[in-house]
């Protein structure tokens, strides 16, 4: 399932590190492919970075991936010094896997955080060094140590994480599937993508995730801040390195 004319391979397999592709459009805003493993910035998760490798040995550095405003296809943003190739050029598109994998671990942990804390999510951001969620919790006291313990218990239980697509009407019938009020669910052809942490959490999400919670590694809640009268911002960081696939 994809949102646009570009086939989004990361929705089928978050662990795909590279793919062969053909350039279908190219301008100052970015390079569009017929298919891609590069995640397009959205839902609080940064866009992927990496390289496009051409058959003549030239490598084009990709510094970001963003949505094209007119077509909604992913725009792979090249470094300014790169010469733009012509449409029809074949490339091997290869993501910076270590960067992506760390974001996958962080994003999955934020889903656990939304399960641990009982409150509406008003915003969030996935990062490589730290990530956060904002909760609508007026007058609520949150404890960093307690939340850290609960998160690490869910991580060590090694729950399966699986995506699936459901008809869009299921979302209107069950609005609790959209946990983050500021994020538009990922949809395509009347279907919506859900991410299920078996027995723990189920919500609409278009991001990339690890396959089991154990891959996240140990984490810590580093900050809890009041952001206005209602919002409580909870920030997490990874405290354990895990081997990537």
DSSP-derived secondary structure for 108-146: HHHHHHHHHS-SEEEEEE--SS-EEEEEE-TT----HHH
Is there a single domain that holds both residue 82 and residue 134? no
Q: Which of 95, 126, 147 is the last residue before a domain boundary? A: 95
Q: Which of 95, 125, 152 is the last residue before a domain boundary? A: 95
Q: Let me know if residue 63 belongs to a domain.
A: yes
Is there a single domain that holds both residue 60 and residue 177? no
The tokens for 16 are 């795909």
Alpha-carbon gap, residue 1 to 10, rounded angstroms: 10
What pLDDT does residue 110 have?
Answer: 98
The answer to whether residues 209 and 107 touch, using CB atoms and an 8 Å cutoff, is: yes
Q: Let me know if residue 210 belongs to a domain.
A: yes
Nearest of 57, 56, 50, 61 to residue 84 by alpha carbon: 61
Is there a single domain that holds both residue 144 and residue 25? no
Q: What CATH number is given to the structural domain containing 128?
A: 3.30.980.10
What pLDDT does residue 1 have?
Answer: 41
Is there a single domain that holds both residue 200 and residue 81? no
Alpha-carbon gap, residue 109 to 235, rounded angstroms: 11
What pLDDT does residue 199 have?
Answer: 93
227-241 exposure pattern, b = at least 16 Cβ within 10 A, e = fewer: eeebbbbbbbbbeee
Q: Which of 95, 117, 147 is the last residue before a domain boundary? A: 95
What pLDDT does residue 3 have?
Answer: 43
Is there a single domain that holds both residue 192 and residue 161? yes
Residue stretches of the chain with pLDDT short of 50 = 1-3
The answer to whether residues 95 and 50 touch, using CB atoms and an 8 Å cutoff, is: yes
Q: Which residue range(s) make up the domain with 162?
A: 104-238
What pLDDT does residue 190 have?
Answer: 79
End-to-end CA distance of the chain: 24
Q: How far is CA 151 from CA 18, 157, 239, 240, 245, in A?
A: 32, 10, 12, 13, 23
Q: How far is CA 195 from CA 28, 89, 124, 125, 225, in A?
A: 34, 35, 17, 17, 28
The tokens for 174 are 């069950």
The answer to whether residues 74 and 6 touch, using CB atoms and an 8 Å cutoff, is: yes
Is there a single domain that holds both residue 128 and residue 232? yes
What pLDDT does residue 170 have?
Answer: 82
- What pTM was estimated for this model as a whole? 0.92
Q: Let me know if residue 196 belongs to a domain.
A: yes
What pLDDT does residue 221 have?
Answer: 98
Q: Per DSSP, what are the bridge partners of residue 164?
A: 194
């Amino acid at each position: 399932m994809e949102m646009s004319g570009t086939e989004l391979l990361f929705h089928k397999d978050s662990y795909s590190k590279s793919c062969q592709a053909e350039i279908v459009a190219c301008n100052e805003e970015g390079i569009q492919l017929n298919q891609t493993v590069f995640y397009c910035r959205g839902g609080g998760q940064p866009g992927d970075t990496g390289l496009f490798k051409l058959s003549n040995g030239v490598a084009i550095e990709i510094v970001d991936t963003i949505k094209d405003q007119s077509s909604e296809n992913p725009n792979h943003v090249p470094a300014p010094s790169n010469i733009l190739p012509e449409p029809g050029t074949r490339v091997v598109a290869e993501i910076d896997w270590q960067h992506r994998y760390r974001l996958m671990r962080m994003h999955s942990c934020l889903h656990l955080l939304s399960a641990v804390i009982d409150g509406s999510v008003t915003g969030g951001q996935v990062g490589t060094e730290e990530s956060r969620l904002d909760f609508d919790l007026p007058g609520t006291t949150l404890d960093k140590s307690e939340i850290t313990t609960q998160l690490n218990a869910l991580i060590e239980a090694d729950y399966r994480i699986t995506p699936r697509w459901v008809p869009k009407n299921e979302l209107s019938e069950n609005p609790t599937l959209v946990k983050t009020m500021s994020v538009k669910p990922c949809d395509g052809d009347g279907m919506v993508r859900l991410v299920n942490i078996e027995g723990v959490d189920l919500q609409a999400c278009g991001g990339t995730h690890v396959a089991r919670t154990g891959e996240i590694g140990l984490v810590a809640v580093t900050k809890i801040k009041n952001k206005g009268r209602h919002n409580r911002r909870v920030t997490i960081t990874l405290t354990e390195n895990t081997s990537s696939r």
